[in-house]
Amino acid sequence: MRAAALAFAVIVTVPLQAADTDYRLQPEPVAPGTYLVAGVPENFSRSNGGNIANTAFVVTGAGVVVIDTGPSKRYGQQLRAAIARVTAEPVVAVYLTHHHPDHALGNQAFADVPIRALPGTIEGLREQGNDFNSNLFRMVGDWMRGTDPLLPAEAVAAGSVRIGTHEFELIPNAGHTAADLAILDRTTGTLFSGSVFNGRTPATPNAVIADWIASLDRLAALNAERIVPAVGAITDNRAIAEDIDWLRWLDETLHEAAGRGADMAEVLRLPIPARFNDFALLREEYERSVSHLYPAIERASLGVRD
C-alpha cells in the first residue's frame, strides 16, 4: 500500500508543460446551431489527456445547451472557451448522457449553470466519481490537475424541453450503464447518445448487454437524421446496427464458451469475426469485455447465484 501511494504521488506531481495540456478543441458544425467536439478513438493516455469521447453543444437563440463535459476540469474550461469562439450566447444548461469519466469529469467548469442528468447517472457519479477521478490521474497525469467530481444538481426524466428555437426530447435508457440519457433535438433531427459507438468497439464496464441492445433498438426506431455518438464521426442508424451486431456476437460467444466450460484464458484467445476488423481498439476492448462480463456468465452457467 505504501509503495502504491508513493508511485501515485510521483505520477500526479510531475507537471507537464503548459502546451502539453491544450486539448486543441475544434467545434465542428453538424446541423443548424449544432456543434460536435470530437474525441479520439483511443485508450486513456497522457498523449490525449483523456479526450476519447465526443462532446457537443447547441446554440439555441436563448443560450447554449452543452451535452457532456469531457474528462477533466481543464477540458471543461477549454470547452467553454471553444463555445465562446463560436457564439456570444451564454451556456444555460448542461446534460450528461451517462456517468463515465470521459463524459462527466468536466462538470466543474459548468458549476454556474444547471447540470442535468438521470437519477441513475447522479447516483453513479456519487458512487464511482472519486474512483474514476483517481484512475484518470494515474492514466493521464497533469491534465487532471484541479479536477474533482461534481454531481449534477438537477435530475431529469422523460419529456420535452424547449430552449430557444430548439425542442429537445429527453429519452431515458439503460444498458451501457444503469442510466443512459439520449437527447433528440426535434428541431434539427439530431440524436445525441453516449451509448452509440461509431467505428469503435463498445465499452462494457457497466454494461447489461440485453438492456443495451433493447435501448439501441428503441433509438433506431426514432430514425434520427443524424446521430452524435459517444465516439466517432456523425453517423446514422448504420452505427446502431453495427453496435447491436457486436453486442449480440459478444453475448452469444461468452455464453457459448461458458456452456462448454471454457476458462477465461481460453475465452480471451478466441478469434473475432473479420466483419468487426474496422472497429478501433477491437482486441483490447474485447479482452476488457471478457474481464467485465465473463465471470458472472460463468457463475450463472454453473448455477452459482451472486
Give the residue among 181, 244, 236 at the shortest CA–CA distance from 216.
244
User: Over its length of 306 residues, how does the chain's per-residue pLDDT go in tens digits?
Assistant: 333 333 323 333 334 444 489 999 999 999 999 999 999 999 999 999 999 999 999 999 999 999 999 999 999 999 999 999 999 999 999 999 999 999 999 999 999 999 999 999 999 999 999 999 999 999 999 999 999 999 999 999 999 999 999 999 999 999 999 999 999 999 999 999 999 999 999 999 999 999 999 999 999 999 999 999 999 999 999 999 999 999 999 999 999 999 999 999 999 999 999 999 999 999 999 999 999 999 999 999 887 666
Instruction: State residue 20's pLDDT score.
Output: 81
C-alpha cell belonging to residue 138:
494515474
The β-bridge partners of 197 are: 231
Q: Residue 301's pLDDT is what?
A: 84
Interatomic CA distance for residues 41 and 27, integer angstroms: 17
CA distance 68 to 65: 10
What's residue 43's pLDDT?
A: 96
Grid cell in block for residue 243: 453496435
Backbone angles phi, psi at 232, to 5 degrees: 105, 175
Rg (CA), the chain: 19
- Name all contacts of 267-275 with Cβ < 8 Å and 24+ positions apart: 267/294, 273/249, 275/245
Query: What is the C-alpha to C-alpha distance for residues 197 and 193, in angstroms, rounded to an integer?
Result: 9
Helix (H) or strand (E) holding 294: helix 282-301
Q: Cell digits for 250? A: 459478444
d(C-alpha 304, C-alpha 289), whole Å: 21
Q: Count of CB atoms within 10 A of residue 46's CB?
A: 15
75 close to 51: Cβ distance less than 8 angstroms: yes
In 15-166, alpha helices (H)? 73-86, 101-104, 119-140
pLDDT value, residue 304:
67
DSSP 19: G
For residues 81 and 87, the answer to whether their CB atoms sit within 8 Å is no
Distance between CA atoms of residues 112 and 228, nearest Å: 25
Residue 65's SS3 state is: strand
Hunting for cell 440519457 — which residue is that? 181
- The single residue listed with the C-alpha cell 446554440 is 59
Distance CA 209, CA 211 (A): 5
